[in-house]
Amino acid sequence: MTTLSIRNLTKKYGHLTALEDFSLEISSGEFMVLLGPSGCGKTTVLRCIAGLTDITGGEIYIGGELMNKIPPKDRDVAMVFQNYSLYPHMNVYNNVAFPLKMRKVHKDKINESVHRIARLLNIDNLLERKPKEISGGQMQRVALGRALVREPKIFLMDEPLSNLDAKLRTEMRVEIKKIQEKVGITTLYITHDQAEAMSMADNVGIMDSGKLLQLDSPQKVYTEPANRFVASFIGVPPMNFIKFKIIKEGSLFLKLDDNSYQQDKRSIIKIPDTLAENLENITGDTIYLGIRPKDIILLKDDADFDGLILKGETAYVELLGDDSIAEVRLGDSSLKISNVTSGSVIPIVRKEATIGIKYDRIRLFTNSGESIHIKL
Ligand SMILES: Nc1ncnc2c1ncn2[C@@H]1O[C@H](COP(=O)(O)OP(=O)(O)O)[C@@H](O)[C@H]1O
Ligand SMILES: [Mg+2]
């Protein structure tokens, strides 16, 4: 069991800064996921840990030992990539056995290890087959087997499921998670798929443009996103944002920042006096209200509702089997609402829609995107 620690890692490719002051601590046996859009630097993090690329600054420790000057082959990390990179001319047995043969491990020990791993991964009936004679999911398992067979200290996975179809991807993510738990190996898994990250991670780090924006449990990044980027990256459909302005008329109020919207007193939020001091210094500024699609309720026109009430028009309703999503236009902006066909009010396209949002479901973000940690 081993810890992995990355401190103030910087990586430049010429003028391009791929990683900037990037720090991460992974405890022994943890399954950590790094999540971020394509090009944000995820693969670069893994390559730095494995020693496949020089680093510009910072330190990498595996099991407390500084790795900066240790060559890749002595770092004891295993990597699995998106394109399984199996040897096509070798059968499954020899593909899995390969790293042990390279290390001149005794034949009997190789045989025992390959069979143990093959049973763990449920590929023990495929050992004689060549890669072209097995499915994509099975190839992925063989690639995992080849990485695990030499019992590395750290397991690095670079979008290993991207080449699989949607159904297999969901099955394999559960399976990888189970295998990791069984083996107990410290793992850093990277993906651009938020559902994958949320379902697999003990802790998830969200990255953008070479920086780590938030590192927390999946639950926490969902309920308490540090900023608008994280808020909109996690959850499907993504969080809605509506532009408001803070105004002071005796007390502080939040008012929709949209000239085309017909204001009414139910669309104005009075800030409780106990919270006013948190917002006083940004009076006059734009502020974003973040609301999850599942937290918006369709109301009858004249409903009595304790919360923010807005009026708009339904633009479309999308039926997705288990879910149903409506888009409602409000002045210049629009909101997505999920699960709309299960409530008592059903939206009708091109007709007026009245929506309600409980105050405690609203998250506030500054104009520059930082979360404001107060609950209305
Ligand atoms: N060998 C390289 N030379 C120059 N730029 C690179 C190299 N590898 C990656 N980059 C750049 O670094 C940034 C991060 O890349 P990468 O780590 O592959 O992102 P991700 O895996 O998140 O998609 C991108 O802008 C990419 O174009
Ligand atoms: Mg990548």
Q: What is the CATH number of the domain that holds 245?
A: 2.40.50.140
**Residues 295 and 275 occupy one common structural domain:** yes
Domain boundary among 180, 214, 233: 233
**Residues 155 and 123 occupy one common structural domain:** yes
**Residues 310 and 201 occupy one common structural domain:** no
Measured in Å, residue 357 CA sits from the centre of ligand 1 at 41
How confident is the model over 294-335, as pLDDT tens digits? 999 999 988 899 999 999 999 999 999 889 999 999 988 999
Q: How far apart are CA 278 and CA 250, in angstroms?
A: 16
**Residues 209 and 354 occupy one common structural domain:** no
* Per-residue model confidence as pLDDT tens for the chain (376 residues): 799 999 999 999 999 999 999 999 999 999 999 999 999 999 999 999 999 999 999 999 999 999 999 999 999 999 998 887 899 999 999 999 999 999 999 999 999 999 999 998 999 999 999 999 999 889 999 999 999 998 999 999 999 998 888 888 998 899 899 999 999 999 999 999 999 999 999 999 999 999 999 999 999 999 999 999 999 999 999 999 999 999 999 899 999 999 888 888 888 999 988 888 888 888 999 999 999 999 999 999 888 999 999 999 999 999 998 899 999 999 889 999 999 988 889 999 999 999 999 999 999 999 999 999 888 8
Q: Domain count of the chain? A: 2
**Residues 327 and 217 occupy one common structural domain:** no
**What per-residue confidence (pLDDT) applies to 274?**
86
Ligand 1 pocket check for 225: Cβ under 6 Å: no
Q: How far apart are CA 39 and CA 279, in angstroms?
A: 36
Domain boundary among 233, 260, 275: 233
**Residues 323 and 192 occupy one common structural domain:** no
**Residues 302 and 347 occupy one common structural domain:** yes
- Beta strand 31-35 with 203-208 is parallel
**What per-residue confidence (pLDDT) applies to 81?**
86
Cis peptide before 88 (omega within 30 of 0): no
Look up the pTM and report it. Answer: 0.92
Ligand 1 pocket check for 207: Cβ under 6 Å: no
Measured in Å, residue 293 CA sits from the centre of ligand 2 at 30
Asked if 290 and 231 count as a contact pair (C-beta separation under 8 A), the reply is yes
Asked if 1 and 28 count as a contact pair (C-beta separation under 8 A), the reply is yes
Measured in Å, residue 192 CA sits from the centre of ligand 2 at 9
- Beta strand 352-357 with 296-299 is antiparallel
Ligand 1 mutation pick, 9, 16, 209, max ligand atoms within 8 A of CB: 16
Q: How far apart are CA 39 and CA 209, in angstroms?
A: 7
Range of the structural domain that residue 16 is part of: 4-233
**What per-residue confidence (pLDDT) applies to 150?**
87
Ligand 1 pocket check for 281: Cβ under 6 Å: no
Ligand 1 pocket check for 40: Cβ under 6 Å: yes
**What per-residue confidence (pLDDT) applies to 372?**
93
**Residues 173 and 301 occupy one common structural domain:** no
**What per-residue confidence (pLDDT) applies to 362?**
96
Ligand 1 pocket check for 16: Cβ under 6 Å: yes
Domain boundary among 233, 262, 288: 233
**Residues 21 and 111 occupy one common structural domain:** yes
CATH code of residue 55: 3.40.50.300
**What per-residue confidence (pLDDT) applies to 259?**
86
Q: How far apart are CA 298 and CA 188, in angstroms?
A: 42
* Ligand at shortest distance from the CA of 158: 2
Q: How far apart are CA 294 and CA 55, in angstroms?
A: 43
Identify the three-state secondary structure at position 351: coil
**Residues 279 and 338 occupy one common structural domain:** yes
Q: How far apart are CA 322 and CA 310, in angstroms?
A: 26
Asked if 160 and 80 count as a contact pair (C-beta separation under 8 A), the reply is yes
**Residues 188 and 47 occupy one common structural domain:** yes
Q: Find, among 152, 124, 156, the residue nearest to 34 by Cα.
A: 156
Q: How far apart are CA 336 and CA 85, in angstroms?
A: 41
Count H helices, E strands: the chain?
9, 21
**Residues 281 and 365 occupy one common structural domain:** yes
The per-residue DSSP string of 122-186 comes to T-TT-TTS-GGGS-HHHHHHHHHHHHHTT--SEEEEESTTTTS-HHHHHHHHHHHHHHHHHHT-E
Q: How far apart are CA 7 and CA 64, in angstroms?
A: 12
